[in-house]
Structure 1
């Protein structure tokens, strides 16, 4: 038999021997080899010491608020957006904030220079409509107003005519 320490496949057999999960025939073969090989004997003794230490190990009791703290940590898991933005967050405050402030000031300056405070504002939509009327339209509107006034006088003869 080749030494189990030297080959990876046989090393797994040696671990199975230490955990006592091998059949009787293979266990007998490894017993004979372990008596002869000091490297395998040292490995088996180390594994047995480890198994004994694990069996003797007493786990410390869990604190009363362990579950609460665990669930709080689970709930505080970081969202995917925070994970994406984490590398850029220092840049946003260190460089992004001054850049945004500068851009805002430049925008205000451009708007102020385009429309200075003393300059008249452009005409609104109402004045553009009045200026765009043709004289014929004005005459027609005045004629219709006269006609409505006459109609009102005929329908209600007792009312006084409003003065304009």
Structure 2
């Protein structure tokens, strides 16, 4: 789980959690698809599986959603978020995360750890005066940043002195 402070919302908005995504986690409806997507990203960071399920449309919602304790979500960037048309909207985003190695019973013993980026075009629909996540088209790519590259968390510092291995 990524650390947050009173001053920062995990979605990268530069607002406090309480004034940004936290209010949606507490029950206020997100006013736009982008706000809902940002709050869902923050819920992934904070391990709020119940919120993720609550904001997932009942027609596509899985029965359960367990958090991944090996994934440390580091940053979110919005590629595009068009103003919603009618009662539907799309948000294209990229989210970087670091995955710790997992123990396996397979012959190699451990899955590789490392940096990844999840890119998705998410689809949203507005029903009953609220936005719902419907589904998305995700792609997952492994990243290979070097120690002196900028950190993928967006801090502006070098990887080796920030979130480096």
Q: Do both share a fold (TM > 0.5)?
A: no
The structure where strand makes up a greater share of residues is 2
Larger radius of gyration between Structure 1 and Structure 2: 1
Tell me the TM-score normalised to structure 2 length.
Answer: 0.16
Tell me the TM-score normalised to structure 1 length.
Answer: 0.16
